[in-house]
Chain A
Amino acid sequence: MDQPDLDRQSVAPGRHIGQWLLMAAFVVITIIFVMPLVLMIFSAFKPSAEILRVPPTFFPQAPTLDNFRTVLNEAPYGSWYRNSLVVACAVTALSLFTSSVGGYIFAKFEFPLKQPLFVLILITLMIPFPVLLIPNYLIANRLGLLNSLWALVLPGMVSAFGIFLMRQFAAGIPRDLIEAARLDGASEWSIFARIMLPLMRPALAALGVFTFLASWNDYLWPLVAINDLDKSTLPLALTFFNTLHAQRFDLVMAAATMAVVPVLIVFLIFQRHIVKALVLAGMR
């Protein structure tokens, strides 16, 4: 499938007034649209007296870092961050590996039961996660995974969507390369590692970004699988912090800012990849 070029210019230059009106409209809409995020960041810098003022202030009158300090001192914010990073990195690395191996095998090999197995994997794409919440909880319990980060990593190790995406991508890679390597006497695993993996890099980058974000932001499964505060991931910890300080919006917004803003910055840096990944994911 052709990748649409998202930055293509589709209007001939020359219709200046219309363009400027459209631009102005978009500037206004965009400002309104990002306002909640701006307010979150501004509120995080307001002292507790200012945050409750009616009517509320827009810019912080006396900006302070106290809220961030309190959050970091009062809550194990560092270990929440570490847990989130460990889980998201492990899930991303493992599922990229299994997806590329699985996708390559389904694209380039003939073996018994190939079609039924592939269809079986695709069918799981149609079943939403919340439906499987209870059985997954019971299975994690039986395997002794509950209340450990393993419970968050192991179920994320394989991804039907990832295998599907990588199969589509691997199918477009010429067979000759693989055959040539075989004639040279390369082992099957080294063909995968030395030839296929580098060629699949664009799709891997897209899938990696997608998987990382999904794992980083996941809430429902960690909520069920994790009990201890020191094993929490960020989203879980944020709600805990919120119930602890329901009316301290200065603290809650500081905690939210620390959780959300790094992701936004990473997005802005890698936005080309991410946008491509999500279009790729959406256009399946």
Chain B
Amino acid sequence: MAVSTLLVPAKPRVARRPRPPGHASQMAFVASGLIPILAMFAVFAFAPVGIVLWLSLHKYNQLAPTAPFIGLRNFEFAFYTDPYFINALTVTLKYALVAVPLNLLFALPIAIGLNQVTRLRAVFRSAFFLPTVASAVGVSLIWRYLYEPQAGALNALLAIAGLPQPSWLADPTTALWAILVTAVWQDLGYNILILLAGLQTIPDDFYDAAKVDGAGPWPRFVGITMPLLSRTLLFVSVLTMISYLQQFTYVQVMPREPGDPIHSTETMVLYIYTKAFSNMQLGYASAISVVLMAIILAITLVQFRLLRSRWEY
């Protein structure tokens, strides 16, 4: 044992041939620890992926006795025939493409400001973070009340300012954006936190050196902060994008009926839920799930590529 450790650099792979004492008990530990975990993953993670792919190729209705194989017919129906699917896809993409920039538009300046504040930083940070720990259902109910046309606080303020008072959640032109504001309000604190952590990994020396060279605040922001923060920014954008592509709670709870008015807030996840559990079309709803999975996987893979290539520093 002593000799082999002297001769062989500490690499377990090389030292494997003459099995060390206790190898059997270590393998027993690995097996007893890992097999139950893998079994749980098999039941609630691996198998579901297989099942959702299988279902998407079948006409599956829980009430029907058989589930005939129909190839890609579900996908064909979704993209060529079903206006509600196209609507849900449009609503989802529109929502995510607006919500992500809006979120960062608020989160980035607040994070940069917080990084400059010397006093009460922890207090401000906690305040911005409060909505994030509240349940999305609770937050939906609060904002449903704020958006109430007559008794709601928002329209009361607009009335004082002499501005028009829309019936936010009942009007198909405003409902989705009203819900989007709620979501951004709730998520902002999380992104501020991540961006703040990213900002604080930038060494002060960089800024000091730039100041010595006479660079003003804006050149310092463009020349130092942005390039060094770009990895964090990309990460935050992708994470936020992925979560905004899966919106469900707000659009289910806030409107009078889920997805109302006239389907203007019906996101893909809500549509999957409705198709699967109100209409019992589990096969078709699975096909839509697969489309959503493909979109999200594509975004994740693009992120991996970008993180690997250019953004090194």
Q: Are A239 and B253 in contact (CB under 8 A)?
A: yes
A62 at the interface (CB under 8 A from B): no
A interface, size bucket:
35 or more
Contact B242 A101 (CB under 8 A): no
Cβ 8 A contact of B296, one of A121, A128, A224, A283: A128
Given the known interface contacts A187-B25, A275-B125, the answer about A109 and B133 at a Cβ–Cβ threshold of 8 Å is no
- Docked complex Cα distance between A219 and B258 (Å): 14
Q: Is A177 an interface residue (CB 8 A)?
A: no
The answer for the CA separation of A29 and B144 in the assembled complex, in Å, is: 22
**Which of B12, B139, B156, B282 has a CB less than 8 Å from the CB of A138?**
B282
In the assembled complex, the CB of B46 is this many whole angstroms from the nearest CB of chain A, namely 7
CB-based contact B33/A134 at 8 Å: no
Question: A239 and B272: CB pair below 8 A?
Answer: no
Most chain B CB within a 10 A radius of its CB, from A19, A133, A278: A133
- The answer to whether A279 and B194 touch across the interface, beta carbons within 8 angstroms, is yes
Least CB distance, B300 to chain A, in whole angstroms:
5
Contact in complex: B117, A105 (CB < 8 Å) = no
Q: Given contacts A98-B40, A235-B137, is CB(A30)–CB(B29) below 8 Å?
A: no
Q: Which residues of chain B are near A253, meaning CB under 8 Å?
A: 141-142, 145
B:156-203 near A, CB below 8 Å:
156, 159-160, 185, 188, 190, 193-194, 196-198, 200-201
Q: Chain A residues with Cβ under 8 A from B110's Cβ?
A: 29
How far, in angstroms, from A125 to B160 measured CA to CA in the complex? 49
Contacts of B44 in A (CB 8 A): 136, 139, 154-155, 158
| In the complex, A65 has a CB within 8 A of chain B | no
Whether B210 is near chain A, meaning CB under 8 Å from some CB there, is no
Asked whether A10 and B12 contact (CB < 8 A) given A56-B156, A264-B133, the answer is no
Q: Are A40 and B34 in contact (CB under 8 A)?
A: no
User: Across the interface, which residues of B come within 8 angstroms of A9, CB to CB?
Assistant: 118
Asked whether A244 is an interface residue with its Cβ less than 8 Å from the other chain, the reply is: no
- Interface residue tally for chain B (C-beta within 8 Å): 106
**CB atoms of A19 and B118 under 8 A apart:** yes
Task: Report whether A56 and B269 are in contact in the complex, using a CB–CB cutoff of 8 Å.
Answer: no
**In the complex, chain A residues 162-188 whose Cβ is within 8 Å of any chain B Cβ:** 163, 182, 187-188
Determine the chain B residues whose CB is within 8 A of the CB of A52 once the complex forms.
150-151
Please tell me if the beta carbons of A189 and B151 are within 8 angstroms of each other in the complex.
no
Q: Mostly helix, strand, loop or mixed at chain A's interface? A: helix
B78 at the interface (CB under 8 A from A): no
Within B41-61, which residues are at the interface with A (CB < 8 Å)?
41, 43-52, 55
Chain A residues near B16: list those with CB within 8 A: 110
A117 and B114 alpha carbons, distance in the complex (Å)? 42
Q: Is A157 an interface residue (CB 8 A)?
A: yes
Q: How far is the CA of A219 from the CA of B269 in the complex (A)?
A: 13
The answer to whether A139 touches B194 (Cβ under 8 A) is no
Could you name 29 residue pairs across A and B whose Cβ atoms are closer than 8 Å?
A2-B201, A6-B122, A6-B200, A10-B115, A23-B120, A26-B120, A30-B123, A30-B124, A36-B131, A37-B131, A37-B134, A55-B156, A102-B37, A105-B30, A111-B27, A117-B38, A120-B46, A128-B296, A133-B272, A134-B286, A154-B44, A155-B44, A192-B29, A219-B135, A219-B248, A220-B249, A235-B249, A238-B138, A282-B194
